[in-house]
Amino acid sequence: MAKAKYTTHLGMFDILPDESPKWRALENIIHEEAAKFNFEEIRTPIMEQTELIKRGVGQLTDIVTKEIFAFKKGDSNYVLRPELTAPVVRSFVEHHLDQRGGSQKLYYIGPMFRAERPQKGRQRQFHQFGVEIIGSDDPVADVECIAFMMQIYKRIGIKNFNLKLNSVGDPESRDAYKSVLRDYLKPHFDSLSELSQKRFDKNPMRILDSKEPEDQEFIKNAPVISDHLNEESARHFEKVCDYLRKLGIEYTIDPLLVRGMDYYTRTAFELTSPDLGSQDALAGGGRYDLLVQEIGGKPTPAVGFAAGMERLMIACEELNIELALPKKVDIYIVSLGDNARSWALTALPKFREAGISATMDYLGRSMRAQMKDANRENAVYSIIVGDNELEEGKFTFRNMHESEEESLSLDEILTKLS
C-alpha cells in the first residue's frame, strides 16, 4: 500500500496501541529488576557529538565507518547515538560522577540508531536496555552485570540461550597475542579473504570473527588468546568464570568471541538465542577499562552490556510468551439520551478518583453499539443509564463476564467496587 503520502523512514517503526502495552511491561520488568540490583537509571540525549562516538566506539569499526546517522548544523557535528556506552561514559566524565563516591551502577533504556540494511531483528531505530558499572575492576562487577542481564531473561521466561564468554585481554596481553596471531596468519596471508587482509595490520583479532568461508580453515587452528593472557588478565578471567559457576550461571568459553567495539578489554560476552534466526544476539557486552581515559577522564575501569529489546520480543513471540496482560477497563457507562450522557460524563471522575478505570461512548451510538464497544474494550462492568434510571437514582450495574445485573445507586456501586 504505497498510498500513504508520508511514511516512516526505512527501518523505523511506530509502536502502535496494540503493541505498546508489552513495551511498557518489558520496561517495568527492567526497572523493577534494576531496583533490586540497586542500579540507577541514566538518561542521555538522543544526539551526541560525532567525535565522541568516533573516539569512543572506534574509528575503524563498522558502526562508525558506515552505520552512523550524522549531520552538521552550524559548527556542531551531530550524531544519532548508535549505542550508549560511550555517551554514558561521556556523562560520567562530564559530570564527575566519580565524586558521588564508590562505583557507579547505571542502567538505561532507549532508542539507538544505525544506518544498516534492515532485516529481521535489525532495524535502523531499535531499542536497547543495558548496564554500565563504572569504577570497579573487580570480577564481581563483571559477574553482577551478567547476572542482571540473565535475570531479565529468566524472569520473562526465556530459557533457551547460550552465554558465550571470552577474555580479549588487557593491552599488554593483546599486543602479545596480536603478534602471535600475525605470525601464525602471515604464511597464509594471500589465501585470506579480502576483508581479513584489510584487518591484518590494524585489528587482526577481528579476523577470528570472520564468516568468510576461505578464512574458516585458518581460524579453526589459530592460536587462542587465553593461552597468551598475562597473569593479571588470566586471574581476572578465572575469577569471573568461578563466580559464574558459583551463581549457577551456565556459559561456554568461546575463544573466537571478539566484539565489534574497539573499547573492550578483558571480559567479553554475548548471549545468543536459537529462536532468533540470523540476527541471533540477544545481548552483548564486556569490560572496557580504557574508555573513560580515552574520553578524557581519569583511568577508570568499567564493565557493561547492552541488550536488544526488539530481539527479546521476537524471542517471546517464538516462545508464545505474553509480556502484557490483555487490556481491560473496569467500568463502561452505557448512556441513552442527553440527560444520561451528561450524567455519565459527571460520574466518570468519581470512579477515577477511587482508582477505578472508567470510560463511556463518545459517538452517541445506539445502546447495542455501546454494549458491543464495552465488550470490545473488555469492560469488567457496564452501567446502563436511561431516563428511568435517572428518575429512580438506581442504575443497571452489569457484570459483563457473568452476565448478571442488579439495580444500584452510584454510591452503592462505588462501595461495592472499593
Partner RNA sequence: GAGCUUGUAGCUCAGUUGGUUAGAGCGCUGGUUUGUGGCACCAGAGGCCGUGGGUUCAAAUCCCAUCAGGCUCCCCA
* Cβ 75 to RNA shortest distance, Å: 28
Q: Which CB, 387 or 411, lies closer to RNA?
A: 387
Amino acid, res. 117: R
Give the integer Cα–Cα distance in Å for 248 and 147: 10
Contacts of 315 (CB under 8 A, 6+ apart): 158, 273, 275, 276, 282, 321
Q: Which CB, 132 or 389, lies closer to RNA?
A: 389
Q: Which CB, 118 or 234, lies closer to RNA?
A: 118
Residue 9 C-alpha cell reads as: 523512514
Q: Which CB, 137 or 361, lies closer to RNA?
A: 361
* Cβ 16 to RNA shortest distance, Å: 10
* Cβ 284 to RNA shortest distance, Å: 4
- Taking phi over 0 as left and psi of -120 to 50 as alpha, with beta for the rest, 165 belongs to beta
Give the integer Cα–Cα distance in Å for 396 and 386: 9
Q: Which CB, 9 or 186, lies closer to RNA?
A: 9
Q: How far is CA 96 from CA 134, 238, 292, in A?
A: 12, 32, 11
Q: How far is CA 359 from CA 47, 369, 370, 383, 413, in A?
A: 39, 15, 11, 10, 15
Q: Which CB, 232 or 318, lies closer to RNA?
A: 318
* Cβ 330 to RNA shortest distance, Å: 13
Residue 151 C-alpha cell reads as: 535475570
* Cβ 394 to RNA shortest distance, Å: 10
* Cβ 8 to RNA shortest distance, Å: 8
Give the integer Cα–Cα distance in Å for 309 and 320: 16
